[in-house]
Each structure stands twice: as C-alpha cells, then as structure tokens.
Amino acid sequence: MQFDSRKYVIITFFILIGIIYVFKLFYMQVVDDSWKLRAQQLAEKRIEITPPRAVVFDRNGKKIVSNKTYYNLMMVEDNIVDLDTVAFAKLIGWSVQEVRDRFVEIVEGEGVYTSPHTGKTTPNYQSIRAYPFIKELTADEMSKIAPHLDKYPGFYEDVTSMRNYPYASGANILGYLAEVTREEVDRDEFYRPGQVIGRAGIEAFYEKQFRGKKGVHYIVSSAMNNTVGAFEDGKYDTVAIQAPALYMGLDVDLQAYGEKLLQNKRGCIVAIEPATGEILALVSSPSYDPNLLVGNRNIRENYPKLLQNPDKPLFPRPLASEYMPGSTFKLLQSLIGLQEGVIHENTGFPCNKSVVGCHNHPSAQSVTQAVQMSCNPYYYAVTRRIIHQNKSKDIYEDAEIGLGIWAKYMHSFGLGQRLETDITGLRPGVIPDPAYYDKWYGHHQWKFSTIRSISIGQGEVQLTPLQLANVAAIMANRGWYYTPHFVSSIGEDGPLPQYRKKHYTMVDRKNFDPVIEGMRRVVWEPGGTARRARIDGITVCGKTGTVENYIGQVKQKNHSVFIAFAPMNDPKIAIAVFIENAGGGGGTWAAPTASLMIEKYINGEVKSTAKEERIMNAVLKGGPK
C-alpha cells in the first residue's frame, strides 16, 4: 500500500514537470518574442553575402547599367572597446557630436517591435549585429580610413556596389534604387537593413530578376564574440550568384538622340519595333541624368531639387500624361467605320464647315483622301454613322448601343486601359463608354450630337503617348501588336511570357490598306499635312494631330502631335511624338522630329542637317508648365 502511494506521487511529479515544460515551450515559442530575437542573434553567425545586381545591355550590346564598387564602414556595438571618440571623429572627418548622433540614429532607425500577445515592446536594434556606420564611401575615401581601423575594434570595411549609368540617358526608363524600409525587411527575408531595392522604372519592375542569389559564410566565434575562423573550413559555405544580365530592346544611341531633339521643349517621343513590341526609345522631356539618384547621399541632395523643378523632370510623360490625340484619332474612326460597314473605301462626304470647322481643301471622295487631308466634317459624318446605326428606334438607346460597340473596338487597340508594360507609373487614358456619359448626363439623356467632339480626337478622349505609339505599331502590322515592353530577354530566356502573345484588334486586315495609303499621302502627296516628315529613300506613313489646349476658358498654344511608321512595306519603327504648347500643327514640329528619329534609327545617321538644326535650336516652352 505504501509502495502504491509513492508510485502515484512519482507519476504526479513527472506529470507536473511535463506540464511545466509544455507551458514553458508554449510561452517561449508563442507568447514571449524575446526568444525569437535570441534566435536571430544566434543566426548572426551565418553571414549572408549579397551579389551585385544584374547588369543591363541595350539592343546593340552596349552596357547601359553596371555596378561600381563602394564601401560601407560597418560597426558591431558589442565588439567596440574603449572607443576614442575624438580620434575616431577626426579619422572619418566628422565632429564628435556627429559621431554620437550617428549611434543614436542607428538605434532609433531600427524602431521597436510590439508583441501582439503581450504588448511588450522590444527594440529591433541588436548590439551583436553589424550596421553601416557610414555608407557609400568611394575607394579613395575608404583608403584614408581602412589602414587605421585596427585601432578601433568593432569597426570594419565592407565592400558593396552601387549602380552606374554609363549613358546619361533614359532616367525615366531605368528608375533608381533606394534603401529598404523596415516594412520591406520584415516582408521579404532577402533584405537586411541598409540594403537597396528598386524604386522606379525597370529597377522596380524587375527587382527579383535583378537581385540574384545570396551566398552564405559560416563563422566560429569565441566566448567574447570574436571571429576565430570559418566553420568546418568553409565546407557549408555557398557562393553568391549574380543574376543573369537583362537585355533591352532599347537603342541607347537613339534614346540619347531623342533627348537632344527635345531639349528646351516639354513633350515626349516613343518609338517601338512593330514586329516585336520592343520599345526602342522612350523620351520624356525635360529629363535628368540617372546618376543623380545613385546612392542615398545623392538622393538626399538631388531628389528634392528634381521634385521641386517646375518642368517636372521626374514625371514620366510618355507613360502618365493623358492627352487628347487630335486628328491622329481619325485613323481609328476610319478603320471602325470600314469594319462596321457604315462606310466603304470610296465613301465621300462634303467638307461642310457649318457642321464643324476645318481648313481649306477639296471634299474627300474616299477614306484615303479623308486621311490625307484630315477632313473634320468627314469624320463627324463617319462617327455619327458608327454611333447611330438604327439598332433601336429610340435615338438615345441607339446612341448607347453604338457607343458601346465603338468603345469595344477602341479597347481592342489597347486604349482606355493600362498597357501591361514592364515599367511602373502607367495611366490608362480615357475611352468614354455609355456608363461614362450616363454619369455626366443621365441614362438615355445623350446622343451623338452631345458627344460629337470624340469624332476628331477631342473632348473626353485621352490617350498616353505610349498608347499612340502602339497605335502606330498596329497600323504598321495591319491589325495586331505585342504589348510594348523594354526587356527583350532575361539572360537567355527571352522576355516574360506576357510579351510573347499577339493581340489582334477587331478590324480585319483588308481594311487597313486604304487607311495606310492615306498615311503615305499625308507625307508624300500634295494636300498632305506632313511634308516635313519626308526622308529620302524611306517611305514614311504618318498622321498629324493638332490638339487644342485650354486652361479654363483661356486658349493656349496648341500641342503638336505626329504618329508614323516606316518603311511602308517593311516596318522597322513605329513612333509617336508629342510636343506640348508648341503652336502650329502636327506637321510643324512633331512630324520633322519623328522623321529625324526614323532616319537615325534606320540609316544610323542623319543627313537632313538643316531639319536637325531647326529642331534642336527650337525653344518651345510656351504655355503652362
């Protein structure tokens, strides 16, 4: 009986011990976050090695993004012994107060962690971890510090790299890097404090493709936390692997040339290779040297200046500006009218200026002539037929049906929606549909006469320059396109899958021919509006646009617009040029600018020196900024 009693006491004792252990494990793993931090501290014996970011080449094999070696002066607080602050400050060229403030800044910059279970607050800063004390030192700057670091235990040099842009062009394409935030470190285990991440352009879009694979170096530490050697002679170490190079469809020389053409102007140029959808050039003017935003020191100094510049060099006009397309839009009205069967190739309309204003020219007797002469009354009549096809006896319902059909055609051209281009900052433009006008006027309270300005690309219609260039590429391809994109290949794997898919419009191939013949006549025949776009030996097909520009009720100088492709029967380049507040028509400034870009790309040089000099010397900054 006495034995049985002792047995139960022993069993009870072990059960209690088990319960205590289970409770302690639960507390350590779920409730008390300090043990998680301790695990992180132990993991610091595992040193991660971050590879340089992938380099970038243009379509001709020119390196346009590379890496340049820099150094960080690192510190581990637990290893710092009897720091002579005065001598250390003198070594790095700081004041004593700046050194003290930097220690505080590092600690406070890491912030705190609040346990969701206990509400307990724990500093994220860990005294055994390495933190950058001074970032982005050049080799010359580090060479003055490194020989003396043995006097300052706890400080050491660390090799890093930053971006270098050999060509001072394409800033709005390439983007820039900036230091990761605490939230980004918590969200993605790849990053550590002080590292960088893509903030804009392709640097942001292709962040995961750029960053490569980290390596790991395991070390053995003494009881005093000093490194005594590699663990198992490096048996378990792995090598950091740089990501494969990215190859772009961009022609950096053409990009630089476009930026020169748009000096002292506000506007943009977008050039696309029709056969692939690769973007050859994307010029936003005014622009800036991408090297101005390399590294935190440069960003702190230059970003505020660029942001406050009234010319808005940081604003990506080709992607985010939404402009009325003007008469370039008549190409699409022609195609939809032909496809819907409301007109045929030889349909003519009188140039009735009482309906809508127009310049002086004979009445167009065909679609080709209408494109050539850019007749406003003609397209008023065509669009009215598209909108009102007598599909309903109620004129308002008929307009609703017709506009819905019209909007679907426009969407098939990639309009009224964001093109899924491999860059950030795109806008969708505006293609008004029935729901759009219902919000303005009420259901069945509008008809064609209410919305007639859409006939000639004015009013509510808005497109981005990238969309306009893609329209030119669709014309060149006679009805299809690849989504415009920058990167033609990631290593040897080609572009991302979404850039290998052909998109077809709702317009049949045969209906493009008379419209394209009209585009040829715009440039090459009397009565055309773009004779300044001619290039000897190259058949350019184009369409001008003159976009009215108002601030409130006050008329400003018109925008000059031109889209084109060339050569006519073997298209190599499609282009859109938009020059703000230039005055004159699309043929005055935008058309010759586009022809210079086409000549430069196809021939490799420009022989039209008088035309080139006229464009480069023009200062076209009238109107609003």
What pLDDT does 625 receive?
39
- The whole-number average pLDDT for the span 538-562 is 85
Count other Cβ atoms within 10 Å, centred on residue 617. Answer: 9
pLDDT of residue 46: 65
Whole-number pLDDT of residue 619: 92
Q: What is the pLDDT of residues 608-622, one digit of tens each?
A: 999 999 999 999 875
Tokens 């006009």 locate to 317
Give the number of other Cβ atoms within 10 Å of residue 276's Cβ.
18
pLDDT score of 26 more than 70: no
**What was the pLDDT predicted at 40?**
45
Pairwise CA distance, residues 547 & 461, whole Å: 12
| pLDDT top residue among 209 and 123 | 209
pLDDT at 336 over 60: yes
- State whether CATH 3.90.1150.10 applies to domain 252-292+316-617: no
pLDDT tens column, 572-619? 999 999 999 888 889 999 999 999 999 999 999 999 999 999 999 999
- Give the per-residue pLDDT at 488: 97
Task: Give the pairing of strands 279-285 and 246-248.
Answer: unpaired
355 DSSP assignment: T
Identify the band that residue 20 occupies on the pLDDT scale cut at 50, 70 and 90: confident
Lowest mean pLDDT among 17-21, 352-356, 392-396, 412-416: 17-21
Percent of the chain with pLDDT over 70: 90
- Whether the per-residue pLDDT at 217 is higher than 80: the answer is no
- Distance between CA 6 and CA 334 in Å, rounded? 101
State the Cα–Cα distance between residues 341 and 18, nearest whole angstrom.
Answer: 85
- pLDDT tier, 220 (very low <50, low <70, confident <90, very high otherwise): low
Least confident of 22-31, 215-224, 271-280: 22-31
Read off the pLDDT of each residue in 495-511 and give the average, rounded to a whole number. Answer: 97
pLDDT computed for residue 235 by the predictor = 61
Question: What is the predicted pLDDT for the residue at 533?
Answer: 95
8 A C-beta contact, residue 561 and residue 590: yes
Q: What would the DSSP string read from start to end of 568-611?
A: SSS--EEEEEEETT--S-TTTTHHHHHHHHHHHHHHSS---HHH
Q: What pLDDT score does 144 carry?
A: 93
Mean predicted confidence (pLDDT) in 354-373: 88
Candidate ranges 22-26, 121-125, 345-349; pick with highest mean pLDDT: 345-349
Q: Could you read off the pLDDT of 146-203 as tens digits, one per residue?
A: 999 989 999 988 887 789 999 999 999 999 998 888 888 889 888 877 788 999 999 9
pLDDT of residue 45: 63
* Residue 37 banded pLDDT, cuts 50, 70, 90: very low
55 with 245: CB under 8 angstroms? Answer: yes
Classify residue 328 by its DSSP letter: G
Distance spanning both ends of the chain, measured CA to CA: 100
Distance CA 115, CA 120 (A): 5
**pLDDT band with cut points at 50, 70 and 90 for residue 333:** very high
Q: What is the mean pLDDT of residues 86-108?
A: 94
